[in-house]
Amino acid sequence: MKLISAGASPFARKVHVLLHETGQVDDVEVISVMTTPVSPDPQVLAANPLAKIPALIREDGPALYDSRVITRYLDAHGDCGLYPEARLWEVLTLEATADAIMDAAILLTYEKRLRPEEMRFAAWQKAQWSKVAGALAAIEQRWMSHLSGPLDMAQIATACALSYLDFRHDDRNWRQGHDALAAWYKEFAARDSMIASAPE
Ligand SMILES: N[C@@H](CCC(=O)N[C@@H](CS)C(=O)NCC(=O)O)C(=O)O
C-alpha cells in the first residue's frame, strides 16, 4: 500500500499514528507531497478527485480517501480494535469532533498563508475559530472519561487535532480553560507514535 501524505497534515498524521500504534508501519510506503487547494499535487489528484490528503493506494481496489475511511480500513486490515463495537458510536462522534477542529484550523491556516491580505474576512475567521472553541469545550465537558479509557481512534484523532493547534495556531492558546484536556494531551503526546509522527 502507498500512503499519500504530508508532514504537516493532521489528517495524514492520524493514519501515521495508527500505523505506529498497530505495528503496520512497514506495510505502507509513504509518498510525501506538497498540496494546497490552489495548487493541487497531480499524484493526489490521481488518487482522490477532491485533491486532499491522505489517500491510500491499494493493489486490490480503488484508492481510499478521507482519513476516517483509511483509518477504518487499516484498523480492519490489522484487526486492531481501534473502533471497538461496544463504543463505536462514541468513537466515531469524538473522531468527527476532532476532525472538525482540524477542518476549521486548516481553513484558518489557508486564510493566513494562501489568501491575499486584502481578501481576508475577519468575521469568517472568527466563525472558524468559534467551531474550534466549541469543540474544545465539548471535549473538556463530555469526553474526558472516554479519553482516559483504552486506546481508540478517537483519542488518536483528538491528539492530532490538538497538536495541529500548537503547530499552526499557537497564538490562540487553546489550553486556556481546558485544563483537563491539556493534561490528557501532555501525556498522550509523549507516546512513541506521536513523537515519530510529529509535524515537520
Ligand atoms: N476530510 C478529509 C480532510 C483532508 C484535508 O483537508 N486535507 C488537507 C491537508 S491537511 C488537504 O489535502 N487540503 C488540500 C485541499 O483542501 O485542497 C480527511 O479526513 O481526509
Look at residue 130 and tell me whether its pLDDT is greater than 80. Answer: yes
**Which of the four pLDDT bands, split at 50, 70 and 90, describes residue 200?**
confident
Report the distance separating Cα 119 and Cα 57, nearest Å: 37
What's the CA gap between 116 and 93, in Å, rounded?
A: 35
Average pLDDT estimate for 75-88: 97
Give the span between the Cα atoms of 68 and 11, in whole angstroms. 9
> What is the DSSP secondary structure assignment for residue 65, as one 8-state letter?
E
Number of H helices, E strands in the chain: 9, 4
DSSP state of 114: T
Which helix (H) or strand (E) element contains residue 3?
strand 2-5
- Average pLDDT of the residues in 77-98: 98
What is the atom index within ligand 1 of the atom nearest the CA of 40? 17
Q: What is the pLDDT of residues 5-40, one digit of tens each?
A: 999 999 999 999 999 999 999 999 999 999 999 999
Q: Give the DSSP H/E element, type plus range, for residue 15.
A: helix 10-21
Please identify, by atom number, the ligand 1 atom nearest to the C-alpha of residue 68: 19
At 135, the pLDDT band (50, 70, 90 cuts) reads very high
pLDDT attached to residue 47: 98
Kindly list the protein residues whose Cβ atom lies closer than 6 A to any atom of ligand 1.
Answer: 9, 11, 35-37, 40, 51-54, 66-68, 99, 106
Q: What is the mean pLDDT of the chain?
A: 97
Burial (CB < 10 A; 0-12, 13-18, 19+), residue 116, is exposed
Rounded to the nearest 10 degrees, the angle between the axes of helix 88-113 and helix 67-77 is: 140
Q: Is the pLDDT of residue 138 over 80?
A: yes
- Residue whose Cα lies nearest atom 17 of ligand 1: it is 37
181 has pLDDT over 80: yes
For a substitution probing ligand 1, which of 3, 38, 71, 106 has the most ligand atoms within 8 Å of its CB? 106
Give per-residue pLDDT as tens, 155-164: 999 999 999 9
Which of 133, 167, 160 has its CA nearest to residue 54? 160
Rg (CA), the chain: 17
Give me the percent of the chain exceeding a pLDDT of 90. Answer: 100
- What pLDDT, on the 0 to 100 scale, is given for residue 193? 98
**Is pLDDT of 199 > 80?**
yes
- Answer yes or no: is pLDDT of 71 > 80: yes
Mean pLDDT, to the nearest integer, of 88-108? 98
Q: What is the pLDDT of residue 188?
A: 98
